[in-house]
Amino acid sequence: MTARIARGLSSLSATAENASMLRGVFQALGPTSCPREYNFHMHTTSSDGRLPPSDVVTQALQIGLKGFAITDHHSVKGYLAAAKALQLAQSVNPELLLPHLWTGVEINAGLLGTEVHILGYAFDISSDVMQPYLQGRPVRDEHYYADRVIGAIHQAGGLAVLAHPARYRVDATALIKAAVTLGIDGVEAFYAYNNPSPWAPSFDQMALVMGLAERYGLLATCGTDTHGTNLLQRL
């Protein structure tokens, strides 16, 4: 089903799956890039969020986002619906400057004996290797482990990022070091752990993660991890 819908949106796929372009955006991000310029972590009603994908697009346009990715848990249905909403918005107003939408997903994975979340970006959603992770629920078989998840994202042409590294039971330093050995591309460095209003990355965790990103040559990403009704906040 996912592959069939993806082929119907082939004109968007070429840019939504442009990992090289996205890598360049990630390399230019800073502490103030999110949430009003870029946002690479959000959830819709297609997983555990409260915003319908069409409302995500409406808010993205109102905020003036330059680019974003919907990262629903184990699903790209929100991305597909948002892509259609963007197409509709442009058909109504051909002069409208649209934000760039990349494919995205958040996947549960095992790493160092704990469960982490790995964000996949700019991957081919019709790729066979990604299908186990796009069924709307976590996998618990051999596909569960971080090496398999990272490998699948790469095989599908995408970038793999360790989400909110300082939120897990295992120390962020150990997790990031282990993820590096598995080929992780980046870490979510600019993240608001205590959900402040207005949104701002948590300084101590940001400093730690950014230091590790620089040590290991990793990309640093940002996102609000929105689950509520406002893209500018987490909850």
Tens digit of each residue's pLDDT (9 = 90 or more) over 152-204: 999 999 999 999 999 999 999 999 999 999 999 999 999 999 999 999 999 99
Is residue 123 within 8 Å of residue 156, measured between CB atoms?
yes
The pLDDT assigned to 7 comes to 43
CA distance 168 to 34: 22
The pLDDT assigned to 14 comes to 64
CA distance 194 to 209: 16
Q: Identify which has the larger pLDDT, 63 or 235.
A: 63
**15 band by pLDDT with thresholds 50, 70 and 90:** confident
Is residue 135 within 8 Å of residue 143, measured between CB atoms?
no
**Domain annotation for the chain: domains and CATH numbers:** 2-222 (3.20.20.140)
The pTM (predicted TM-score) of the whole model is 0.94
Query: What H or E segment, with its residue span, contains residue 86?
Result: helix 77-92
13 pLDDT more than 80: no
| Six token digits for residue 110 | 């095992």
34 burial type by CB count under 10 A (0-12 exposed, 13-18 middle, 19+ buried): buried
Q: Crossing angle, helix 203-216 and helix 172-181, to 10 degrees? A: 30
**Region of 209 on the Ramachandran plot (φ > 0 left; ψ -120 to 50 alpha; else beta):** alpha
8 pLDDT more than 60: no
